[in-house]
Structure 1
Amino acid sequence: MFRTSLIFLILIFVQYSCGSTERNTGNGNPEKAIIPGAWQTEKYFPLLEGKAIALVANHSSLVGNIHLVDTLLSAGFDLQKVFGPEHGFRGEAADGEHVQSGIDPKTGMQIISLYGANRRPRPEDIKDLDLIIFDIQDVGTRFYTYISTMSYVMEEAARQGIPMLILDRPNPNGHFVDGPILEKQHSSFVGLHPIPIAHGMTVAEYAQMVNGQGWLGDGLQCSLHIVTVENYHRQMWYELPVAPSPNLPNMISIMLYPGLCLFEGTAISVGRGTDFPFQVYGHPDLPAEKFPFTFTPKSRRESVYPPLEGKLCHGMDLRGYDPQRLMSISKVDLQHILHAYKHFPHKEEFFLNSFERLAGTSQLRKQIIDGKTEEEIRQTWKEGIKDFIEMRKPYLLYPDIF
């Protein structure tokens, strides 16, 4: 009786703390508000009774304005530990920083890092668990590592026969599918599976694909229970309530990320070490007359050792874009990397060895060097994208856009 009353109070708090149940789409037509899976406690709390639970989560794992850890502990469930992804459980670790395991000072909860000594749970970390919950906000790109973490957790859970509960969230880049398909030789933690840069799936849909395509290996299948997002479709504008990681601070950066992240495999800075990461790009040697905006990366909490630290960069400022207009473009935008390469004076120094890991293919570097146009490059992606769109159909939980 006490548990039921507590759940009811939590639901009431979430409903009133999150405001109206309708939103305006900008064309005068109101839509019902999106309700992420984690908020729908009435659908999954009954599954947690009497179970030893672990949670894969970070700062984005919210139920309204309350963290899911606090929600579960307040409801009296046996939450034993939390697994933290890149940037840590609190989402405060710098880019590329290895995160230590330890005790969270705010909750006293054991935190096991999956972005430090290990990228996947060890057998001893999960052997006494009955259920693992995954609830992290993703941004819908192959190289954003939260889906790699989810895949590794699924694999280890499957080996131990432990089911997983996926609390789904919207994909802010779920309105399109684009980019080259990852080639096997370029598989890494920033791209595990043969998918395009923008896959157009939520994390729960992606989890179903990982199972269905046999990507866990050894014939493994992870038992999944999914709580879907209510009132969600892929072409909805969804403004994330919190930044999903330290260097994607706003919706402009999230919309630009699928294309600008390719710069991370080049000599060009994308503004790490500034107030506007993934909203600018530049380099000291780009010509000022073509690249009039200037910025100087500096060490800061979000990026302790940013590329081109302390150097005045000439580049482009993209902060004037309307993020909802960026959404309407619906593609991995190559114009910026093509423009930068064209005017970079030291062509042999433009690409880093890591470029193929991000591009997922050996072809894109060659195409840019050969002076191919964006349209010519995109033509080489078409068959792969077409096949992927067909492959993903059985795993979709929300209406497709194709």
Structure 2
Amino acid sequence: MKLKILFVMLGFLPLNCAKSVSEKAVQPVDIPSAVDIDGTLVLGAARMDAYLPDLQKAKGVGLVVNPTSTVGRTHLVDTLLAQGVNVRQIFAPEHGFRGTADAGETVTDGKDKQTGLPIMSLYGDNKKPKPSQLQGLDVVVFDIQDVGVRFYTYISTLHYVMEACAEQGIKVLVLDRPNPNGHYVDGPILDPDFKSFVGMHRVPIVHGMTVAEYAKMVNGEGWLKGGIKCELEVVPCLNYTHSTPYELPVKPSPNLPNNRSIYLYPSLCFFEGTVVSVGRGTNTQFQVYGHPDATIGDYYFTPEPMPGAKYPKLEGKRCRGFSLATTAPEHIRQQGYLNLDYLVDFYQAYPNKANFFLETLFIDKLAGTDALRKAIIAGQSAEEIRASWAEGLTAYREMREGYLLYP
């Protein structure tokens, strides 16, 4: 049975958008403790008694946040400002602070219209905060909903934030959130030769960790440059386990609109390294896949420009393929493995195999190895490919044990 989500609701209204930060009058309120109520799940951000007093004493606070960074219905930025925290800087990851940028689109610096706070992009040319951008900060808070997949770039942003803060002697505070794909571990381990922003660490594609657990592992394994250690503090969730189902209250990025897409994402994202569309430019992103030249499938769709997909792959072309948009999300979740059949079967039936994988070989960055692409071309089955991951996954699970916060 799904656990209810307790949001600790604070006694204030959202910020008046017409006022700047300096004009805002802050009225302290009592912050209720996040207590155990009927085994209810409490998010790290909602446990304000655990971290707000320290933030109120800080001379300068930076926030790595996006639209998922909420306490109840209020954004964490508004929450902290209303409690007298000296928020001085917002850092925006892929998709931007408000979450409207396309995947891969450069996020630009700017100013938040609602608060007047400066926004520094951490996606584009500037993936790691510069010392000048961290000047005057005592602590940087990381509060972003992740989906538990190696090529989902928020954990790469986490790495660079930790590294930059370690170099400047600034503490990083991670407010933890559940991992909707945290109930299993699967996929090939990253080969360092294929390291990129969509895969930085020697972990499988589905790593089975929350952001706070992942931050502990990055620190503990010495993955920051030069083996430097970050001063790290985490605020765990209460009443959470890795088997706890979690319905995300805010979509984590423009093209993951619901839990079904989030559960399918680890398996269908491989198509991003091929000529095949995964439904960007439709309302069923990462729930359908197809191509105009496909010879199999009884579902048709036509990608068109839309928010979060300005220039979708195969724009305006009628694609033939498959829809998983009516599959029960819980059924996909209960499978508990990365499903290679979608990719292998489509490749085997595709008429122009020589041009199936993109010339950029982006598939190798997504997989973290060229072994997957080569095995598919060689005609190996999904079962044979999965068997090649077993040894690496066993070693990873043993290493992962030391960093888990939840059963």
Q: Provide the rounded CA distance (Å) in 2 between the counterparts of 1:139 and 1:278.
A: 13
Map 1:3-402 onto structure 2 (within 5 A).
6-8=28-30, 11=32, 32-51=39-58, 52-287=60-295, 290-352=296-358, 353-399=361-407
CA distance in 2, matches of 1:299, 1:265: 20
* Displacement of 1:207: 0.4
Give the letter for the 1:38 counterpart: A
Contact 1:38 1:62 in 2 (8 A): yes
- In 2: Cα distance, 1:193 partner to 1:269 partner: 27
CA contact (8 A) 2:290 2:321 kept: yes
Report how far residue 7 of structure 1 moved: 4.1
CA distance, structure 1, for counterparts of residue 146 and residue 367 of structure 2: 19
State the TM-score, normalizing by the size of structure 1: 0.92
1:68-108 deviations in Å (ceiling 9; x for gaps): 00000000110001101000001111222111111111111
Give deviations 1:299-323, integer Å, cap 9, x for gaps. Answer: 1121111111111000100011111
Q: CA deviation at 1:5?
A: 8.2
CA contact (8 A) 2:304 2:316 kept: yes
- The runs of at least 4 aligned residues of structure 1 exceeding 3 Å deviation read 3-7
Q: Aligned AA for 1:77? A: V
Quick one: distance in 2 between partners of 1:7 and 1:192? 42
Offset at 1:55?
Answer: 0.5
How far does the alpha carbon of each residue in 1:98-131 deviate from its partner, in whole angstroms, 9 at most, with x for none? 1111111111111111013301101100022100
Contact 1:7–1:42 (CA<8 Å) still a contact in 2? Answer: no
Structure 1 SS opposite 2:142: strand
CA contact (8 A) 2:288 2:323 kept: yes
Q: 2:42 and 2:380 mapped to 1: Cα distance?
A: 43
How far off its partner does 1:217 sit?
Answer: 2.0
The Cα of 1:392 is off from its aligned counterpart by 1.0
Deviation of 1:219 after TM superposition, in Å, equals 2.6
1:238 partner letter: Y
Instruction: Identify the range of structure 1 (359-368 vs 132-141) with the bigger mean alpha-carbon deviation.
Output: 359-368
Contact 1:286 1:344 in 2 (8 A): yes
Letter in 2 for 1:347: K
Look up the equivalent residue of 1:257 and give its one-letter code.
Y
Structure-1 separation of matches of 2:226 and 2:190: 21
Measured after TM superposition, the shift of residue 141 of structure 1 is: 0.2
Partner of 2:18: none
Deviation at 1:50, TM superposition (A): 2.4
Which amino acid counterpart does residue 318 of structure 1 have in structure 2? Answer: L
Question: CA–CA distance in 2 between the matches of 1:295 and 1:49?
Answer: 51
Aligned residues: percent identity? Answer: 52
Of 243-252 and 94-103, deviating more is 94-103
Q: Which residue of 1 aligns with 2:7?
A: none
**8 Å contact 2:256–2:262 — kept in the other structure?**
yes
> Following TM superposition, by how much is the alpha carbon of 1:46 offset from its aligned partner in structure 2, in angstroms?
1.4
Structure 2 residues without counterparts, runs of 5 or longer = 1-24
Q: Which residue of the partner structure matches residue 26 of structure 1?
A: none
Q: Give the deviation of 1:292 after TM superposition.
A: 1.0
Task: Measure, in 2, the Cα distance between the counterparts of 1:137 and 1:206.
Answer: 13
Aligned residue pairs, count: 381
Name the CA distance, whole Å, in 2 between partners of 1:5 and 1:59. 25
8 Å contact 1:240–1:251 — kept in the other structure? yes
Q: CA deviation at 1:49?
A: 2.6
CA shift in 2, pair 1:43/1:390, >3 Å = same
How much has 1:250 moved relative to structure 2? 0.4
What is the one-letter code of the residue matched to 2:48? T
Q: SS of the residue aligned with 1:395?
A: coil
Give CA-to-partner distance per residue, 1:305-354, whole Å, 9 cap, x none: 11111110001000111111111111111110011101100000111221
Question: What letter is aligned with 1:42?
Answer: D
CA distance, structure 2, for counterparts of residue 276 and residue 326 of structure 1: 16
Query: Structure 1, unaligned stretches of length 5 or more?
Result: 23-31
Q: What is the root-mean-square deviation in Å for CA atoms of aligned residues?
A: 1.8
| Conserved? CA contact 2:26–2:82, under 8 Å | no
Instruction: Give me the whole-angstrom Cα distance separating, in 1, the residues matched to 2:354 and 2:32.
Output: 58
* Amino acid across the alignment from 1:342: Q
Q: Are the aligned partners of 2:26 and 2:83 in contact in 1 as well (CA < 8 Å)? A: no
Measure how far apart 1:11 and its partner are.
4.0
Deviation at 1:184, TM superposition (A): 0.6
8 A contact 1:7–1:41 mirrored in 2? no
Q: Distance in 2 between matches of 1:94 and 1:198?
A: 23
Distance 2:382 2:345 in 1: 10
1:80 maps to a residue whose letter is R
**Is the partner of 1:366 in helix, strand or coil?**
helix
